[in-house]
A = this chain, B = another copy of it.
Amino acid sequence: MSSETLKATAELEVHDVFNQWLKAARAKDVDAIMTCYADDIVAYDAILQLQFKGAQAYGQHWRNCMEMCGGDGIFEPAEPTIHADASVAFLHCLVRCGGEQDGVVQTSWMRGTQCYVKRGGQWKIIHEHFSAPFDVESNKALFDLQP
């Protein structure tokens, strides 16, 4: 396989895992979400802690987050960009995220980066970074920004 074909194939494979992750996140299926992660994931999530180390800690955080938000999960990515080689890849995109709170759908644009490694023929997310930028005067997260 040529280097370019190998990269194009790897990008498609990573895109497939991203689509599985999206489908699982929308369905609030934490077990299915967790199949996308490596056991030794290090995650920087948008809220609460600097980092979550390992699939067990991050899975518990996902469960807590799912309980916080009512209704269906909203995860709408804008133009995911993927770079992949034989065994290392990353993906970034803006994501319109949210859920239903007191019967009102609330969403905001967040930033997402997922870093992948291929192990035993399977791509797994070994590092994930989600965030919202904050305002330098109020120090508050900026939820009203538009791409």
| A interface with B by C-beta (< 8 Å) | 3, 7, 42, 44-51, 68, 81, 83-90, 92, 94, 109, 111, 113, 115, 117, 126-127, 129, 131-136, 138-143, 145-147
Q: Which chain B positions have C-beta within 8 A of A126?
A: 83
Evaluate whether A90 and B92 lie within 8 angstroms (CB atoms) in the complex, with A111-B44, A133-B48, A145-B49 already known. Answer: no
Cβ of A88: which chain B residues have Cβ within 8 Å of it? 83-85, 88-90
- Whether A115 contacts B113 by the Cβ 8 Å rule is yes
Q: Which residues of B contact A3 (CB under 8 A)?
A: 86
Q: Could you tell me if B83 and A136 are in contact, using CB atoms closer than 8 angstroms?
A: no
Are A51 and B83 CB-contacts (below 8 A) given A92-B44, A131-B129? no
Contacts known (A51-B147, A129-B113); A92 close to B134, Cβ less than 8 A: no
Q: How far is A81 from B117 in the complex, measured between Cα atoms in Å? A: 13
In the complex, how many angstroms separate the beta carbon of A67 from the nearest chain B beta carbon? 12
